[in-house]
Amino acid sequence: MQIFDVVIIGTGSAGKQVAETARAAGKSVAIIDKLPFGGTCSQRGCDPKKILVGAAEIVARSTDLAGKGITEQAAINWADLMAFKKTFTDSIPENTEKKFADLGIAQFHGAASFTAKNQLRVGDETLEATHIVIAAGAAPQPLKIPGEDKLAYSDDFLDLPQLPSDIVMIGGGYIAFEFAHIAARAGANVTIIHQGKRPLEQFDADLVAMLTKATEELGIRVLLESRVTGIEGEGDQLTVQYKQNDQQLTVAAKLVVHAAGRVADVADMGLDKAGVEVSKKGVVVNEYLQSVSNPAVYACGDVSDKGKPLTPLASYEGGIAGCNILTEKSKKYTDDPVPSAVFTLPPLAAVGLTEEQATEQGLDVTVMCKETTDWYTSKRINEPISAFKTLVDKKTGLVVGAHVLGAGSDELINVFTLAIKYKIPAKELGTTLLAYPTHGSNLSSMLPK
């Protein structure tokens, strides 16, 4: 039995934040991970994905500007791109372990499972702690279909030595659309199969419709209201079976990627032995990120039932859990506006309420929605589609939602986030002088006068 003040399961953004906070306060700390240390985002998620997006962006730009000063279209060398990606990811586990060691944080490799309310088993080791923090992130949601073992996952896609010629993405969210845009611009034939009526359901419906049209014009098939029922074949000779309009159909693929959602990665953690309550969304916690059923346990990041599965939110939640471990109930979780972006080409970004949500809440809002491909910022790069939608509360004059499609939207959305968080009136935001010509200088035309 090894005894610590704090034991953390997971070495990603949330777990790392808790470990460093507790250790800085002089607590004895141990951290556990069944995967290479460093977490999903930096090794198998957002960071390496954005490197691939960067290459796809060059292809998109050279295509859009063909005949307008650009004479040769860029092309992706997949092997070279993977080698470049590895210069960012390969050193992360070793560097993470070294940092923990330098801080005096004990490290354990392996799957952790509870044996009691404040005890864990990792391999042959038993750990006991005053506080245990679950920050294990999320895992692909089981699809429960025949042939599920033939699926590739996001980390597989991000580490492909060669890009297959025909790819099927199961799901219609961030991962499906981002990977589809990357793969298509690298030369693959891509099909997205989504069981819902529209993809990217958490984003504005009007802008999603525009992005979906641009996606299809890129040559990507987007099949909606289609449910995958099974996968057959071996190796790179696969057949995806799906049902659409009561018809059983098939599509051939050399790679089938699971992009149909993720769930809290706690299935094998033995939470019942610790009396930790779990919902469909994750570990059920209170406003202090403390388990509602076991006060010795905290949960933060994608594994908890608070907020969205976004890296900045994971770090934020890790900070809250760390503070409350040091001083009980000292810091509450608050629903600050959190921007999100789909790194397609063009990217789609959002913060605050959608138009539907504003209506459901009974808000009287001024809605501005416009396609902006004729604006200078889009025309100068011959962008095929760009648009925005803003929502301003008529009573308060405050921005309550912003949705932007097009180059620069992933940066511009941060300005709207500041406006919502710090309650900057829309008129003040719209009359602020910003550098020109930039995406920010478009703000004056995106808000009511």
| Tens-level pLDDT at each residue, the chain (449 residues) | 999 999 999 999 999 999 999 999 999 999 999 999 999 999 999 999 999 999 999 999 999 999 999 999 999 999 999 999 999 999 999 999 999 999 999 999 999 999 999 999 999 999 999 999 999 999 999 999 999 999 999 999 999 999 999 999 999 999 999 999 999 999 999 999 999 999 999 999 999 999 999 999 999 999 999 999 999 999 999 999 999 999 999 999 999 999 999 999 999 999 999 999 999 999 999 999 999 999 999 999 999 999 788 888 899 999 999 999 999 999 999 988 999 999 999 999 999 999 999 999 999 999 999 999 999 999 999 999 999 999 999 999 999 999 999 999 999 999 999 999 999 999 999 999 999 999 999 999 999 98
393 class by beta-carbon count within 10 Å (0-12 exposed, 13-18 middle, 19+ buried): middle
Q: Which of 376, 390, 380, 385 is nearest to 406 (CA)?
A: 385
Q: For residue 157, is it within any domain?
A: yes
Spatial distance between the Cα atoms of 362 and 356, rounded to a whole number of angstroms: 10
Q: Is the peptide bond before 164 cis (omega within 30 degrees of 0)?
A: no
Could you tell me if 136 and 20 lie in one domain?
A: yes
Could you tell me if 132 and 254 lie in one domain?
A: no
Q: Structural domain of residue 419, as residue ranges?
A: 346-445
Q: Which of 284, 282, 300 is nearest to 292 (CA)?
A: 284
Could you tell me if 269 and 255 lie in one domain?
A: no
Q: For residue 381, is it within any domain?
A: yes
Could you tell me if 320 and 391 lie in one domain?
A: no
Could you tell me if 250 and 175 lie in one domain?
A: yes
Q: For residue 291, is it within any domain?
A: yes
Beta carbons of 389 and 207 less than 8 angstroms apart? yes
- The CATH number linked to 101 is 3.50.50.60
Q: Going by C-beta distance under 8 Å and a sequence separation of 6 or more, which residues neighbour residue 41?
A: 12, 13, 47, 311, 314
Spatial distance between the Cα atoms of 83 and 88, rounded to a whole number of angstroms: 9
Could you tell me if 220 and 307 lie in one domain?
A: no
The domain tally of the chain equals: 3
- Its pTM stands at 0.96
